[in-house]
Structure 1
Amino acid sequence: MAALVPFPKSGISATYSPWTKTLYLEAKGKVPGYLAGAFIRREDWDGGLRFSLRAFPLLFPEGFPPPSPKQIDATLKVPIQLPISWLNSKSVLFETANGVYTIPIKYLLAGVGPADEPKNGLTSSNGQTDGQASEQTDEGRVIGSVLTPIEVPLGAEANYRISARIPPSQEGAIVPLPSVKLSFNNEFIKLVDASYEGGSIVWDIAWQKLPTEEGTNPQAVDVTTSTPHTQFGGLTTWSRVIQPYTVEFVVFEKK
């Protein structure tokens, strides 16, 4: 039976990618040599996200010299859309033989992580919905939101059109220009065409490589719209909205 592993907090990390909607857990460091097959397990817990580091103890003959510590790099990928207003999306609990650690979640895109814990009884996203949150960056304060993914079935030879409205620039203010960006894994998705139509940017995408290998279907495509707003005193606040698309390879039956 797998047992908890003695492990330092410094070797544990939690990272969230809004592009793939995945929480990545990693435990990297040394463990006692009498343990084998170290792995990260998600634990059932109603209070939030909880994980543990476990391994299988090895049996050695009596009088056998203790084995040297061994290096491990255990990882776990958890598909999830964060932040969630009713769930602690700032950190995870991570259990080891040394105790239970609180590990902060690092968000790979500024502005989509949860805000600081409120002091007025509201939720962890400051009472907002649809995964909204804010963060202070070198660009200024960023208010981010990840919308509900749009499901897209896409055949082998088909194209899919994505359009996004380009926000108007703020008149009479010296601020950066708004931007709209398309992001995807170019190993599997390719951009066929792009154009500007009546205040919107339009992209046509198709398969670069069919995602037939395990774990590659569906693919994530994101449209990120960043809009600057100048406030009193010249401060800039950004609103950053991500519209995810879940593009799934399908085979259409001929009738």
Structure 2
Amino acid sequence: MAQEVYAINQSSISDIEQFKKDLINQYEPNDSSVSHFDLKMPSNARGYLILGNALGSGEQLLINQIINKIPPFLKVFICYQNEFLACSSFIRENYPSPIEQMASIDELASVAGGIINLDWTEPSNLKNLLHEVGLMGAGCIVIFASGSNAGSEVTKQIKLVSHLCQKLFVAVNIHDRESFYSAKRLANDQEISRLSFGCWQKIELDEGYQHNFKIFSANEFNEYFAGR
């Protein structure tokens, strides 16, 4: 019996594959169409942005200062844009409670707080994070940070998530030229509102030195450092 041979129309296969894609996209919208400005912070959470504006500006130190003022019944999650690698003992020694461990976004409900490695400058990553925070239900603070320093990207990063954040902070090393003059520019940027500056100043003493710390609003920063 002769075997029948069927010719395959390649264009028909392409049409079928495109139909499948269109059907999937109808129920699963492409995340690439999502922007930061489409997203909202869940009602159970408050967002803080804490960025260092130069190397050595004290981003981690400022984060710790802020965490120490947060009520203890709130969970706290630091979301680092740049990957943060550290063992549990280092985190316990260098961060206050409840920052206890590294955490992934699918285990937020099971930990009291922690550090999340997530590039929040990518809209799809940020969307997933906010979704999981909303599902968690418990009250929490989400801190957006760079994990090193935002450098020349600081203005862009502030604008990406400022609508999600109740408080906006920039860490400034007064003795570092790059950090100080970056802060001066930010303090005079009319497109950025609600920005506060956590300033570190090294004071020489007879017995050594100490670091003084103060938080300024943009107006206070300009007035205090007028002429510099």
TM-score (norm 1): 0.22
The higher relative CO (CA closer than 8 Å, separation ≥ 6) is in 2
Choose between structure 1 and 2: higher helix proportion: 2
Choose between structure 1 and 2: higher strand proportion: 1
